[in-house]
Amino acid sequence: MTAKAHAYLDYNATTPVLEEVVLAVTAALGNFGNPSSVHGPGRHARAAVEEAREAIAALVDAPAQRVIFTSGGTEANALAMRGLAAAAGCSGVLASATEHPSIMAHVAEQDRIAVDRNGIVDLDALERALKQRAAPVLVAVMFANNETGVLQPVAEAVALARKYGALIHCDAVQALGKTVLSMRTLGLDSVSLSAHKFGGVKGAGVLALRGGVEIAADMLGGGQEHRRRAGTENVSGIVGMGAAARCAERLLVDAPRVLDLRDELEAAVESEAPQARIFGRDKPRLGNTSCILLPGVSSETQVMRLDLAGVAVSAGSACSSGRIAPSHVLLAMGVAPNEAKSAIRVSLGWETTRADISRFLEVWLPLAAKFRDS
Ligand code: PLP
């Protein structure tokens, strides 16, 4: 069954590719020059890459010459965690405990900052950790959590970082197309983005740097991206990301409709399956995301039953799918390991319809009722 035939409710894993992106990518595939070549075809490809850079910079309010193209969010995060910390001579890295695994992989256990039961980073704990470390350190606080949609107090974290002479990186992979993000207003040192989370194609991402902030390149052996990331650029993916950036405003206009659908889904879950728990229910959250725990029914069972009925959702983070281990995000929020294995993530987007929500409820509510009665 194709993604199109499904009621696709897994936008936080990846989104459909926007029509404008398909057109832009197709055109870029025909324009096969290497952007580093000085001849006409090369210059043509270079111009397309630079146009995309401008569009992405404008979308997140970052200086265009400081937008570095990468292979996606994971590489952008790795570049920030290693390259930013190295260039600034950081003594260590602190990160909230619910960051994406591509951040967590770079953070030692004792450097993970606790979150509350809603997954919001404990700013007092962050301040205590900053006081204990020799400046500068690098702090990583994500914009919105990929599993729960819960928003972090990024502005407050930036203020703390400034107070203690730290640098601050924000994984904003889940933000675009769902909310407004201004890197300049927030005062962030770096931001990571991923094309396939807002209508682009997989394999293109960005690390955007604030003016004056430098990084040590991770990928060496070429002068691309102003020597910050060696390797011939993924021109078609980058052009597609630029096209998606130009559509982001339209996605934002649609966001209230998506929020209404998400709220309808949650209202039905709460009234028909009161034993279920919705994470971050009353906290600032992305309007497209719902993380639901159904006690006594494993995530796998829920995901498989829904899939058989043509509804696509994921068990926690799709990046960790295939792994039975409970989500580190829910564990950090104080959910017991056996309970955390019963959570699913439902995430909506611009192609989601009321019929998709009904289809989800038609399968999930009887499942909830069956296990409640058994
Ligand atoms: N950061 C967050 C918050 C994500 O949700 C993801 C992917 O799910 C990533 C980073 C990794 O992005 P990519 O798939 O482009 O490597």
216, 247, 278 - which closes a domain: 247
Tell me whether residue 1 is in a domain: no
- Percentage helix, strand, coil, to 5, in the chain? 45, 15, 40
Q: Amino acid letter at 274? A: P
Instruction: Establish whether residue 242 lines the binding site of ligand 1, counting it when its CB lies within 6 angstroms of any ligand atom.
Output: no
146, part of any domain: yes
188, 222, 247 - which closes a domain: 247
Say which range, 89-93, 132-136, 316-320, has the weakest mean pLDDT: 316-320
Q: Is 171 in the pocket of ligand 1 (CB under 6 A)?
A: yes
Residue 323: per-residue pLDDT: 55
Predicted pLDDT at 4: 66
Point out the ligand 1 atom lying closest to the alpha carbon of residue 13: 8
Over residues 42-58, mean pLDDT: 98
Interval between CA 76 and ligand 1 midpoint (Å) = 9
Ligand 1 binding pocket includes 316 (Cβ within 6 Å): no
pLDDT over 90 percentage in the chain: 93
Look at residue 322 in the predicted model and tell me its pLDDT.
Answer: 57
Nearest CA to ligand 1 atom 14: 73
For residues 222 and 263, membership in a common domain is answered with no
Same domain, 230 and 267: no
CA distance 353 to 345: 17
> Can you give the CATH number for the domain in which 134 is found?
3.40.640.10
297 and 179 in one domain?
Answer: no
Could you give phi then psi for residue 69, rounded to 5 degrees? -80, 140
Are 314 and 180 part of one and the same domain?
Answer: no
pLDDT, tens only, 221-246: 999 999 999 999 999 999 999 999 99
Tell me the average pLDDT of the chain: 95
Residue 107 has pLDDT above 50, yes or no: yes
Reported pTM = 0.96
Which range marks the domain in which residue 121 is found? 19-247
Whether 143 is in a domain gets the answer: yes
Q: Are residues 243 and 299 in the same domain?
A: no
- In short, whether 73's Cβ falls inside 6 Å of ligand 1 is yes
Residues 210, 307: one domain? Answer: no
Q: Which of 17, 75, 102, 191 to mutate to test the pocket of ligand 1 (most atoms within 8 A of CB)?
A: 102
Instruction: Establish if 138 belongs to a structural domain.
Output: yes
* Atom number of ligand 1 nearest to Cα 318: 8
Question: Which whole number is the average pLDDT over 99-109?
Answer: 97
Q: Are residue 196 and residue 264 in the same domain, yes or no? A: no
Neighbours of 132 (CB within 10 A): 10
**The pLDDT of residue 2:** 61
Q: Is the CB of 200 under 6 A from ligand 1?
A: no
Domain limit, last residue, from 224, 247, 270? 247
Please determine, for residue 319, whether its predicted confidence score (pLDDT) is greater than 50.
Answer: no
Q: How far is the CA of 82 from the centre of ligand 1 (A)?
A: 17
Residue 2 lies in a domain: no
Asked if 194 and 307 sit in the same domain, the reply is: no
Section 136-161 average pLDDT: 98
Say yes or no: 199 and 260 in one domain.
no
The count of structural domains within the chain is 2
| Same-domain check for residues 285 and 327 | yes
pLDDT band at 43 (very low <50, low <70, confident <90, very high): very high
Strand 205-209 with 277-278, pairing: unpaired
Is 92 in a helix, a strand, or coil? coil
Quick one: pLDDT band at residue 318, thresholds 50, 70, 90?
Answer: very low
Same domain, 132 and 240: yes
Q: Which amino acid is at 354?
A: R
Same domain, 162 and 237: yes
Per-residue model confidence (pLDDT) at position 325: 81
- Per the annotation, the verdict on 319 as an active-site residue is yes
Residues in the chain: 374
Average pLDDT of the residues in 39-60: 98
pLDDT band of 144, cuts 50, 70, 90: very high
Residue pair 344/307 in contact (Cβ under 8 Å)? The answer is no
The answer to whether the beta carbons of residues 98 and 142 sit under 8 Å apart is: yes
